[in-house]
């Protein structure tokens, strides 16, 4: 699953697995969630910051 996220700083593409995608959707749709979504991939920690998101496009 790929996410194309339009942010204040430009576009970002994140490749995540199905489990991470479910957690992202839950986080993104929850108005009371914390502002930073974190996931682990390829030995690195990646962050998505909710206040910077303008638009999310889901790509399969």
- The SS3 of residue 16 is coil
* Rounded percentage of the chain residues whose pLDDT exceeds 90: 90
Mean pLDDT value of segment 35-59: 94
pLDDT category at 18 given cuts 50, 70, 90 is very high
Indicate the number of domains in the chain.
1
Give residue 13's pLDDT: 94
> Which domain, by its residues, includes 21?
2-59
Q: Given this model, what pLDDT does residue 60 score? A: 76
Q: What pLDDT is recorded for position 57?
A: 95
If phi over 0 gives left and psi between -120 and 50 gives alpha, with beta otherwise, what is residue 54?
A: alpha
């Amino acid at each position: 699953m790929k996410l194309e996220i339009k942010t204040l700083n430009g576009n970002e593409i994140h490749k995540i697995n199905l489990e991470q995608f479910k957690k992202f959707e839950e986080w993104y749709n929850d108005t009371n969630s914390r502002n930073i979504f974190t996931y682990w991939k390829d030995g690195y920690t990646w962050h998505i910051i909710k206040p910077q998101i303008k638009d999310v496009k889901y790509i399969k």
